[in-house]
Amino acid sequence: MLRKKNRLKPIIVDTNVVFSALLGKNKALRDKLLEMEHAFYSCKFIMVELFKYKEKIQKYSTLPEEAILELLYNLLKNIHFVDEYSLTPTSLKQAYDLCHDIDEKNIPFIALTIELNGLLWTYDKKLKQCLENKGFYAFW
C-alpha cells in the first residue's frame, strides 16, 4: 500500500522548542517532535545553540544525561537541516526586516519559514508578538 504524500506545510523548529523538549517536563511536546506526521525543518545554527547551552540543559532537565542524549539524537533524526548559506538573499532580507530589532539570531529561522512557505514553531513570545505587529502570522 502506498503512503499518501504529506501535504502539510513544513514546520520550522526554533531552538527554544528543542530546548523545551530536552528539559523533559513536557512529554506531549517530545511526542509531537518525534512523530513523523509533520515535516520538521530547522537551520544548522540550532546545533551551535544547543552546544552553547548544553550545561544549562543538563542542569534544568528532569532527564538524566544519557536520556537527554538519546532524546536529542531521536529529535534530530526527525528534523531536516538547511544550511543558512543556501537561503536566498530575498528571504534573508525579508527576515532581517522583520526581526533585526528583536533578535538577529532568529533571522535564519524566519528566512527558512519564508523560503519554504512554512510555519514557524517558536515559544519566544516576544518574537511572536513583534512579528505579528509587523504582519507576519506564519506560526504553528
Is residue 2 in a domain? no
**pLDDT above 70 (res 2):** no
State residue 35's pLDDT score.
Answer: 85
DSSP symbol at 44: T
CATH of the domain at 43: 3.40.50.1010
Give the DSSP H/E element, type plus range, for residue 28: helix 27-34
Residue 138 within any structural domain of the chain = no
Q: Is residue 55 part of a domain?
A: yes
Give the whole-angstrom CA distance, residue 66 versus residue 64.
Answer: 6
Distance CA 34, CA 26 (A): 13
Reported as a pLDDT band with limits 50, 70 and 90, residue 36 is: confident
Domain count, the chain: 1
Q: Cα–Cα distance between 68 and 73 in angstroms, integer?
A: 9
Please check whether residue 3 lies inside any domain of the structure. Answer: no
Structural domain of residue 127, as residue ranges?
11-133
Do 42 and 82 meet the contact criterion of CB atoms below 8 Å apart? yes
Q: Is residue 121 part of a domain?
A: yes
Mean pLDDT of the residues in the chain: 92
Structure confidence by residue, pLDDT tens digits, 73-85: 999 999 999 999 9
- Does the pLDDT of residue 5 top 70, yes or no? no
pLDDT at 3 over 50: no
